[in-house]
Structure 1
Amino acid sequence: MAKKLNTVVLKKFRSFSFQNLDWKTVLLILVVLAIIIRFPFFFRDYIDRDESTFIIMGQSWANGHLPYTQLWDLKPPMTFLFFAIIIKIFGKSFIAIRLFGSLIVALTALFTYGIATKITSKKIAFWVAIFCVFFQSLFGSLQGVMSEHICTFFFVAGLYILFLKDDQKWFFTSGLLLGISVMTKLNMAYPVLSLGLYFLYEGFHKKQISKNIVNLVFMGIGFFVTIAFTIMPYYLQGNIQVCWESIFEAPLAYSEGKFHSPLKTLPFVIVILGLLMAGFTLKIIDWKDKKLQILTVVILGILLSYMQAGKVNGHYLIQLYPLILIPLGIAVGKLPPLKKRYQSIVIILLILIPMESYLEYGNIISNKIKKGTFFNGEGIEVPAYITEHKLETKNIFFTEYHIGYWVLGEKPPTKAATHPSNITREEMFPYMENPRNTGMEELRYIMEVIQPKTLVAREGKEIFDKKLVDYNTYIDAYLEKHYQLTATVGRGLIYQRLE
């Protein structure tokens, strides 16, 4: 039976005509694939701590507070606007946020498909788009909605326009989209600058400098229109300084932090550059192709931004995947065709790629049987316990599972505590207008002045990074003296302040 089913699948696979694909069919396939892979994670409390912070910041904006005025985090405003709009329309809905995240992933893959069709065959472009969904949805904490998902969508959309059109109004439109990308994640300024330099070089090289400069001027106008609209609300409220410091100055201070070093990114950068060089040297990738040149300079711009940041987290790579998959797909497409006996193995491997999703489907079904709900995780269960037992939530302090603020309808005790790790990033305190100068001062202020009645931590994990010995020593001793562990929910530890 299995052998017969495998034979049928193989026949369908071989007879499928990629040339007859239209963009609507491709979009439908990508949306269905993205939702199937990401759906079981719609019910998780959080997948990455950054996503929790974006949700909290979005809620604050939906409540009428511009980013950086009530709460603070190290991202440009467009990241928070994405979440604020969804929350304003759909309310507190994990499902709505994750659904729109899935659509963003599918649309990014669609524009990647569009770019690839301008360089290679529809068949290769289709598989590049499929793997674009895989790589933006699996392997780490990518099932959540990250700022990289949002900025990459707008960047790839803007890049697609440059591959499709070559006149001033479309360069302006591309500039608008690229501006949104940068105002979502600031490091995207590097590939945008790389694009500008490339078009200048091309203009000199092909003796069409005046045309390229005019196009770049229109792109620049579009780019700065987006920036102007982003900062306009702050100007109208007289908060332009906090806007400037939080969006532009704080990221530079962050990249100079004690745990960041360009040397840490070198091995990764060398590998990517090595693969590109090998492709060009072996003539697997045509260096003379203008579109591949554009992809290459954009990749270089992103790699440079990683070096400037001094680290490469897994979710940073979301920005790179759509661009690097295209030349990789072209290279794979030039390999000899697979023999028929190996094609079934490839299909099985494709089916097995979303193993994380299959395991999560099992997890939500198990959670439904045991606890009566698909929603799971301490970020949901701890607030439920706190509500059920009527524990004090005013000035509650989540050192972990801080999505709990959103679930309970509370806000962090201070600006610096919006993301728990920001308490220790004292190099950014001047940019968030924090009245304390050091992280230890901030922590002491929270624990000794605000004195949260309820504090939530995580079992088996230091409250702060294990390298920050002074912070952990202080808070462990303070909890021992002034708090009592009243409940353990999953791995969530709920402490109550002693009277």
Structure 2
Amino acid sequence: MSLKRNKNVFFTISQWKNPSILFFFFCLTFFIRFPFFFRDYIDRDESTFILLGQSWANGFLPYTQLWDLKPPLTFAFFASIIATFGKSFIAIRLAGVLLVLITAFFTFKIAQTVLSKSSSVIIGVFCIVLLSLFGSLQGVMSEHICVALFIPGIYLILSRKSALAILCAGLLMGATVMVKLNMAFPVFFIGLFLLYEALFTKQKSYLAWTVLYGVGILIVIIATIIPYYITDQLFVWWKSVILAPLEYTGARRYSIFKLAPIFVIVGLFLLYAFKNNYLNFKNRTVQLLLVSTFGVLVSFIKGGRINGHYLIQLHPLFLILVGIVLSGLFLRYQPKLPAFLLFIGVLIPAESYLEYINITKNYYEKNTFYNGEGFSVPQYIIDNNLETKDILFFEYHIGYWNLNTLPPTIAATHPSNICRDELFPFFGNPRKTDIEELQYLMEEIQPKIVITRKGKRIFDKKLTDVNTYIDTYLSSHYVKLATVENAEILQRLE
């Protein structure tokens, strides 16, 4: 067979249709994330979202039975999955696959407005990798939910096909804010961008579309308020969704040196791109991406901290800008890509390979793919008929879900919230300090069973007073009943 005929056998990426690209993205995302479907918890926040989702599925609005520092649509996402599929880790993690798939596909679609299809597909692949690997990103985080709403919203704005598209973009942006409140900054800056376009072009339709964008945002925000208004709990929404995050960002700030690296990286990149004319700053896609990136970075400054999973909000936007610059470099210098780059690409999902080995080993040893202390500790408690009323998980608190029980106090929903006493007034906690909350938990409720992590301080090492109190109290009133994997099960002395 001739070389020419061989070329006709295989389709190049540039010939792929959108359904083929979507299927390819799904297969890649599923392959990378599938082995983590069976992990008990990957990030403590995910466990907390599941607990609040279950509470809402049981009929309790967020912030009423359990409490955490996120807008209500984060919990609505988990509640809808639980209400539909029941207690299913697989359903939740599969939903995470769909979130990453949506984000990657629309990142590809946005990139395609300024780059070739082949380059855009590569950007989509890197989007999948950066949203699925490294750190705690294999779980389902609120950032995964918000970018799966935000990126399609940007695409609708770029398409600018109709008033309905802009309204839908506004609805998506409103939902984004009600998943991650800090995203109000990029959403607001995009609104200013649309207003600038409307005033600059002097087209009445653009001004009307800007209004529709704002209307869409307000519709979603008001929709989250209505259940609280109907049940005469409007102030609960206001305190938990608006006031508490403002207090939290003021109380828990990183130093400027911890915040600086990401800003230095982005700043140097943009300076290089500008000086070498790799970015066309008159291009609407580039402008919208820059406005959005700037908005996310401002939100990091206002929030005063950047955890690893926060960067999920930045990755899709920045990847496209990087892709544009790299595409320009390739066109200018036409380097030959060595074969080892393909080898590196195969090695990138190393975490997934290791987890495939882990679940296979776990199946042969325990006859189940499910693994982690969030499963093994509840199973030990059930097998040994231990008390589950007022059980206290200082670690592995997904165990509450697996035991069909609740945290002993609302502050203990997320273990770290016990020490965030600046938030106590926002969920009506009668205790005023973290020490008072701990004293109430240990001396008044007196849980029969306490779960800790072997070899790890219960609270942040900076919190000397609470660590001293809890270490002293546990050593005096509890005895280690068992060690299950890395968890220690403590039983109260009679």
Unaligned runs of 5+ in 1: 1-7
- Aligned AA for 1:430? P
Does 1:175 find its partner at 2:170?
Answer: yes
Q: What displacement does 1:12 show?
A: 8.3
Cross-structure match for 2:215: 221
Q: What displacement does 1:233 show?
A: 0.6
Cross-structure match for 2:463: 468
Does 1:335 find its partner at 2:323?
Answer: no
Cross-structure match for 1:438: 433
User: Does the 8 Å contact 1:393/1:454 carry over to 2?
Assistant: yes
User: Could you state the TM-score of these two structures normalised by the residue count of structure 1?
Assistant: 0.95
Range with greater deviation from structure 2 (116-125 or 333-342): 333-342
- Aligned AA for 1:374? F
- Aligned AA for 1:354? P
Matches within 5 A, 1:221-240: 221-240=215-234
Q: What displacement does 1:93 show?
A: 0.9
Which of 87, 95, 112 is residue 90 of structure 2 equivalent to?
95
Range with greater deviation from structure 2 (255-264 or 232-241): 255-264
- Aligned AA for 2:112? T
Does 1:124 find its partner at 2:119?
Answer: yes
Does 1:290 find its partner at 2:274?
Answer: no
Does 1:272 find its partner at 2:288?
Answer: no
Q: What displacement does 1:206 show?
A: 3.3
Cross-structure match for 1:3: none
Matches within 5 A, 1:87-486: 87-208=82-203, 210-261=204-255, 264-336=258-330, 342-486=337-481
Range with greater deviation from structure 2 (267-276 or 398-407): 267-276
Q: What displacement does 1:340 show?
A: 9.3
Separation in 1 of the partners of 2:322 and 2:121? Answer: 13
- Aligned AA for 1:159? I
Cross-structure match for 1:489: 484
User: Does the 8 Å contact 2:191/2:214 carry over to 1?
Assistant: no
What is the CA deviation profile of residues 36-94 of structure 1, one whole-angstrom value per residue up to 9, with x for unaligned ones?
A: 00000000000000000000110101111000000000000111111111111111111
Does 1:85 find its partner at 2:68?
Answer: no
Separation in 2 of the partners of 1:278 and 1:339? Answer: 19
Does 1:22 find its partner at 2:20?
Answer: no
SS at match of 1:496: strand
Number of equivalenced pairs: 489
Q: What percent of counterpart residues are identical?
A: 51
Cross-structure match for 1:67: 62
> Residues 229, 125 of structure 1: CA spacing in aligned structure 2 closer, same or farther, 3 A cutoff?
same
Separation in 2 of the partners of 1:196 and 1:265? Answer: 26
> Residues 341, 15 of structure 1: CA spacing in aligned structure 2 closer, same or farther, 3 A cutoff?
farther
Q: What displacement does 1:196 show?
A: 1.1
Q: What displacement does 1:265 show?
A: 1.3
SS at match of 2:482: strand
User: Does the 8 Å contact 1:263/1:310 carry over to 2?
Assistant: no
